[in-house]
Amino acid sequence: MTDGSIGSKRRNRRRASQDAPAKTVGRTVDYHNLRSPFPTMDVFSPDQAASMHETALTILEDLGTRVLLPEAREIFTKAGATLRGDDTIHIGRDMVNAALSSAPKSILCKGGIPTKDFVLEQGRLVFQAGAGAPHATDLDRGRRPGSARDYIEYLQLTQHFDVFQMISPQVEPQDVATHLRHYFTTEAQLIWSNKFPFTFSRGTPQVMDCFEMIRDYRGLSDADFASAPQTYTIINTNSPRTLDIPMAQGLIDFARFGQLSIVTPFTLMGAMAPITVAGAITLSHAEALAAITLTQLVNPGAPVAYGTFTSNVDMKSGAPAFGTPAHFQASLAAGQMARLIGLPWRSAAGSASNSNDVQAANENQMGLWGCLMAGATVVIHAAGWLEGGLTVSYEKLVTDVEVLNMVAELCAGASADPADIGYATAIAEVEPQGHFFATSQTMERYATAFYDPIVHDYANFGTWTERGATDANNRATDVWKDIVARKDQPGLKSDSLGQLKDFIARRTAEGGAPPES
C-alpha cells in the first residue's frame, strides 16, 4: 500500500480487534491533513518586527534589487517601478502592499487524486523531504552522484510515507542528460507518485514541457490546470538583492499559469547576509517581497508562498551550519514576518553532518522545532538531508520520518473527557501497586492507544543484543529496502501512460529542451 505503513498497520490492528468482545476506541490520525497544535514563538518584539518590515520596504525602495531578466524589468517598470543603472529595480511600498493584498492567503494544491490534495495557509503543516541534492547515499551502496535509479527509489520512499504531502526535487539524476532530465523527473513523479509534483524553474521551454505533461497525463483540461496549482517550484533569490534570469522567468511562468511559486531567499548569516538574525531576515524578507510582487504584477491572485531558509556559517571556516540556535531564531523571525503579511510560508530544517549520525539527528530535529515554533506552513528538507544539502540519505529519510510521524501524532491532540480520565474504568478498578493492563479502559483502547514506530526499537538490552545489536540506521536500511522492493506505481494509468511516452519520444526526437530561458 502506498498510504504509509503506519496508517495501514493501525487500521489492520483496529480491524483485527473487532473480533474481540470489547469495543475498541480508536485514535484517528490523518497524517495528510495536519494543523499545527504548537504555539508560535516570537524572537523579537512586535515593534522590532514592524521595524524589520519597514526596513525591508526601504531596501526595495532606496537600495533596489538587480533584476537580470529584461522581461521582468519591463513588468516592474510598466507597473511604476524605477529602473536605475542597467538593471536595478526600485520598488515602492505601494506596489509591495498591493501585491500582498492580491496574493491568496489560502492555496489548494492538487494531487493526482483528490485525497492527495491539501491546503496551504497559516496554521496548516506540510512536510517535504530533503531536496535538491547532487548526491545520494545509503549504507549498502555508499555515497554516489545521484542517478535516475536514486531519483525513482527516493520517490518511492517519499510517496510511501503519508507525512510527506509534497514531492520534493529530491536528488539530481545526473546520469540523465540535462536537456531531457525534466522529462524523466516529471514522468517519474507521475508514475511513481500521486502527490503534488515539483517542477524546476530551468527556463520556459522546460517549464512548459512539464506543465503539458502534468496536464495531459493527469487528464486535466487547460481550465482544470489553471483552476488550482497542479505543481510547484522553489524560487531562490541570489542574495544579496539579485533576481537572476531563470528564477525571474520561473516566477513569471508559474504566475501566468496559476501554478505555485515558493519564494525562498537562501541566506547564510555572515556570508551572503548580515551576521545577525535581524539583519539576515530583513534582507531575506525584502528579497521575498520583490519576488512575490513580480508574481502579482504578472497575475494578481497567482498562488505564491513566502519563504526563508536562513542559517549561519561557522565564522572560523566559513562552512554552512544547520540546526543551530541562529538557524532556529531565523525561522522564528521569518515566522514573525510571515504573520505580518499573512501568506502561507515555508521554512527549512537540515543538517551539516556528513553521515546519518547523532549530529545529523540532533541538527535536523533542532531545525524542525525552529520551524514548528515559528508556525511554518511548509517544512522543507524535513527528512533525509545531509552535508547541508549535498547528499540525501535513504536511512536518514526513514529515521527523520519517525520524528515527523511523531509530530503528526501530536497534531491529533488528546482529550481529557471523563472517559479519557477513566476514574471508574481505570483508576478505581486498580488496587494500590496493582497494574492497569486489564482495566476496562485499557481493554477498550490498547490496540490504538500509542504511536507504533517504524524504526525505533524498545527491546531491552539483552533481547536487542541477541537480535544482533543493530542500530537505528541499520534497521532503517531494512525499512527502505522493503518499500523500494514493492514497486508500487500509484500514479499509473495505462491509457495516459502511452500518451506520455509518445510525448517524451517526440520531444526527445525534436532535441528536448536545454535548461535555458
- Please select the residue that binds its own copies; options are 106, 147, 365, 477, rule is CB under 8 A: 365
- Please select the residue that binds its own copies; options are 154, 345, 446, 503, rule is CB under 8 A: 446
Q: Decide if residue 449 touches its own copies (CB under 8 A).
A: yes
**3-state percent helix, strand, coil for the chain, nearest multiple of 5:** 45, 15, 40
Least distance (Å) between residue 423 CB and its own copies: 5
Q: Kindly identify the residues of this chain, within the stretch 242-261, that bind its own copies according to CB under 8 A.
A: 242
Q: Decide if residue 468 touches its own copies (CB under 8 A).
A: no
Q: What is the pattern of x (binds its own copies, CB under 8 A) and - over residues 11-40?
A: --------------------------xxxx
Cα separation of the two ends of the chain: 40
Q: From 272, 265, 297, 264, select the one nearest 91 (Cα to Cα).
A: 297
Q: Decide if residue 422 touches its own copies (CB under 8 A).
A: yes
Nearer to its own copies, 417 or 510 (CB): 417
Nearer to its own copies, 177 or 421 (CB): 421
Task: Give phi and psi for 86, each to the nearest 5.
Answer: -70, -45
Q: Decide if residue 391 touches its own copies (CB under 8 A).
A: yes
- Please select the residue that binds its own copies; options are 356, 382, 394, 507, rule is CB under 8 A: 356
Q: Kindly identify the residues of this chain, within the stretch 36-95, that bind its own copies according to CB under 8 A.
A: 37-41, 43-45, 48-49, 51-52, 55, 58-59, 63, 65-66, 88
Nearer to its own copies, 96 or 103 (CB): 96
Q: Kindly identify the residues of this chain, within the stretch 147-176, that bind its own copies according to CB under 8 A.
A: none
Total of chain residues touching its own copies, rule CB under 8 A: 124
Non-local (6+) Cβ contacts of 475 within 8 A are: 455, 457
- Please select the residue that binds its own copies; options are 406, 481, 482, 492, rule is CB under 8 A: 406
Q: Which residues of 94-108 are buried (b: 16+ CB within 10 A; e: fewer)?
A: ebbebbbebbbeebe
Q: Decide if residue 278 touches its own copies (CB under 8 A).
A: yes
Nearer to its own copies, 103 or 373 (CB): 373
Nearer to its own copies, 109 or 373 (CB): 373
**Hey, which residues does 120 pair with through a beta bridge?**
107
**Cβ distance 496 to 219 under 8 Å?**
yes
Question: For 164, what's the count of Cα atoms within 13 Å in the CB-facing half-sphere?
Answer: 35
* 3 state SS of 278: helix
Q: Kindly identify the residues of this chain, within the stretch 190-249, that bind its own copies according to CB under 8 A.
A: 238-242
- Please select the residue that binds its own copies; options are 99, 214, 297, 403, rule is CB under 8 A: 403
Q: Kindly identify the residues of this chain, within the stretch 476-515, that bind its own copies according to CB under 8 A.
A: 476
Least distance (Å) between residue 201 CB and its own copies: 19
Q: Kindly identify the residues of this chain, within the stretch 108-127, that bind its own copies according to CB under 8 A.
A: none
Nearer to its own copies, 153 or 402 (CB): 402
18 vs 24: CA distance, rounded Å = 7
290 vs 96: CA distance, rounded Å = 7
Non-local (6+) Cβ contacts of 289 within 8 A are: 56, 57, 60, 91, 96, 99, 100, 341
Any alpha helices (H) in 193-319, and if so which ranges? 204-217, 222-227, 245-256, 277-298
- Please select the residue that binds its own copies; options are 78, 458, 494, 506, rule is CB under 8 A: 458
Q: Decide if residue 457 touches its own copies (CB under 8 A).
A: yes
**Cβ distance 277 to 330 under 8 Å?**
yes
Q: Decide if residue 401 touches its own copies (CB under 8 A).
A: no
**Hey, which residues does 311 pair with through a beta bridge?**
268
77 vs 489: CA distance, rounded Å = 47
